[in-house]
Amino acid sequence: MTESCEVAIVGAGPAGISAACILADQGVETVVLERGEFPGSKNISGGVLYGHDLAGIIPDFARQDCPIERNIVESRVWYASDEGGFSLAYRDAIFKEERRLNVFTVGRARFDRWFARQAEKKGALVVCGTLATDLLRNKAGRLGGVRTDRELGDLKARVILLADGINSPLAAKTGFRPDPAPEHVALAVKEIIELPEEIISERFNVSDEDGVSIEILGSVTRGMNGVGALYTNKKSLSLVIGGNLRDFAELKLKPYELIEEFKAHPMVASLIKDGVPREYMAHWLPEGGYEHVPRLFGDGYLIAGDSGMLFNALHREGSNMAMVSGKLAAETILQALKKDDFSEESLSIYQEKLKESFVLKDLKKYRRFPGFLRKHREIFTDLPLSLSMAARDMLTVDGVDKKTKQSRSWKMIKSKTPLLRLARLLFNAWRSVK
């Protein structure tokens, strides 16, 4: 016996569940296939989520027991060297009241489970512990369903939404999109570090509901194009560090050693002091950027979220792009259902919708950013070290006059990164984000 439905969705992450909510709301028979034991059991993000785009799916999410950890009121960026670093922070009272839940932290094991339950309440069927192993095609070669690893596990569907994440053996097998090259993904490892609620609030100077996000660039990634992060949860901290997968291979770095060194960094160590590690995870971030977004639709299928490389590395936005692309895919499917046409041409309006949304607009705006980081390795090697040495020298009060200090700092910076290279760095930085 083969089960059938109108829409089959592969993956119960933010993209798949968003689509399922929109479709089920309109009474469309929707089945979500999830390989984990429960939605979220395989999922991970740095740790923040965005209220605006979640409200686009569940308008009153804050009143629906959404498992929110802390509301972010302050964003910090550090440019770290081995023994210290620069810190830039922005805090704003508007994020405490009027724009509360603009950004908040979540644990995805709990959040995705909650989110999937909202889709179920609307009438979607979420089938867990079920791995999509192949796509079914009819005699004409058109997609007609999903094969799973369950006994009698074929699921027929009129249209399939592939929301199966960046690491997709299904894509590698069926070729619905190309497998990413190592230089187009970042490998990140994450630890959950438990601390008492009041200690976290005190260390980060926030109330018990509020929190801080910290992104950390510099020598912490040991020369890799990558980033570290520290986010406050209710009773734990999320500590993340990652780098380009090709860089990991070339520099022969071990992820589990990298995160230990990161924990020992003086600016990090004091914040996680006495914390107890509770979980260790690893995942890819899609970092190919605009140029490497695959074709996101075809006869009988659409691709949303990480699987479609929809990730803005500069602003660490991915979960929201997943939710919005899932929503737009669902709206496309609703239109196609009305026309009873799931051809490539009919589904191509998905691309138009994405182009009109911030998803492809932002990715296009920052299309040069991945290449900029690849080209200017000094951002992660010499530059943080020489800038830190300069700051250390200028801030040391030792009887040496400031003009002497200034000229020797300049000399030292230029000896590591020649002036022309610095000028090119600044120009390319501006160009990559303009």
Partner 1 sequence: MNIEDKLFLNRFQVDDTSHLRIVDPKLCLEECRDQPCLYLCPARVYTLEQDGRINAAYEGCLECGSCRIGCPELNIEWRFPRGGYGVRHKFG
Closest listed residue to residue 242, CA positions, set 319, 190, 277, 191: 190
When the beta carbons of 192 and 359 are compared against partner 1, the nearer one is 192
Measured from the CB atom, is 252 or 402 closer to partner 1? 252
Nearest Cα neighbor of 214 from 85, 324, 312, 310 is: 85
Helices (H), 344-401: 344-347, 349-356, 358-365, 369-375, 382-395
Q: For partner 1, give the closer residue by CB, 167 or 335.
A: 167
Nearer to partner 1, 166 or 413 (CB): 166
CB of 87 to partner 1, least distance (A): 26
Min dist CB 146 to partner 1, Å, is: 12
Q: Which is nearer to partner 1, 113 or 368 (CB)?
A: 113
Which parts of this chain interact with partner 1 (CB under 8 A)? 35-37, 40-45, 107-112, 128-131, 148-150, 167, 169, 172, 179-182, 185, 187, 189, 191-192, 233, 236, 245, 248-249, 252-256, 260, 277-284
Q: Which of 282, 304, 286 is nearest to 295 (CA)?
A: 304
Closer of 269 and 423 to partner 1 (Cβ):
269
> Which CB sits closer to partner 1, 7 or 192?
192
Tell the smallest beta-carbon distance from residue 372 to partner 1 (Å): 23
Q: Do 147 and 140 meet the contact criterion of CB atoms below 8 Å apart?
A: no
Q: Is 77 helix (H, G, I), strand (E, B) or coil?
A: strand
Minimum CB–partner distance for residue 36 and partner 1 (Å): 7
Q: Which is nearer to partner 1, 323 or 359 (CB)?
A: 323
C-alpha 283/C-alpha 102 separation (Å) is 25
Contact 168, 150 (CB under 8 A): no
Q: Which of 134, 161, 165 is nearest to 308 (CA)?
A: 165
Select 193 or 354, whichever has its Cβ closest to partner 1: 193
Shortest distance, CB of residue 129 to partner 1, whole angstroms?
3
Closest approach of Cβ 411 to partner 1, in Å?
37
DSSP 8-state class, residue 204: T
User: Least distance in Å: CB of 130 to partner 1?
Assistant: 4
Q: Tell me the HSE value of 91 on the side-chain side, using a 13 A CA sphere.
A: 12
Instruction: Give the contacts of 123 (CB within 8 A, at least 6 positions apart).
Output: 24, 25, 27, 30
Provide the 8-state DSSP code for 318.
-
Q: Are 281 and 275 in contact (CB under 8 A)?
A: no
The length of the chain is 434
119 vs 22: CA distance, rounded Å: 8
CB of 392 to partner 1, least distance (A): 30
Q: How far is the CB of 336 from partner 1 (least distance, A)?
A: 29
Which residues are within 8 A (CB) of 219 and not within 5 positions of it... i.e. 6 or more apart? 80, 81, 82, 380, 381, 384, 385
